[in-house]
Amino acid sequence: MARYMFIMECKEGSEEEYKRRHQSVHSELLKALKEVGISNYSIFMDGTKLYAYMEVDDYHRAMKELERNPANRKWQEFMSDILAMDEKGDPKMYLIDQEVFHLK
């Protein structure tokens, strides 16, 4: 299983709301994440910076499948008012996929 990290950002002043919303992630979304093969998914926060880690065999395939999933689209819309967005209106996200060390 491959490991991936990505960095996102929430809007300044929305940090507590971001945490609150993640206390009750919809069960349909959790199911969708698992169905595309995502596991061990964690998000860490430092100020407005969000550092996410996940394990998935094929990150790009999983993301394409999630783009078509109604539960994921609903969640993305729900979060859009508190996430920093790029010029296309998508959440700003920087993927880090080059692992240089792993302690087993």
Strand locations in 1-104, DSSP E?
2-9, 39-46, 49-56, 94-96
Considering 22, 26, 60, 102, which one is annotated as catalytic?
22
**22 is known as an active-site residue:** yes
Please answer whether residues 84 and 8 qualify as being in contact, where contact means their C-beta atoms are separated by less than 8 angstroms.
yes
**2, 39, 67 from 55: Cα distances, Å:** 6, 5, 18
Q: Which residues are catalytic?
A: 22
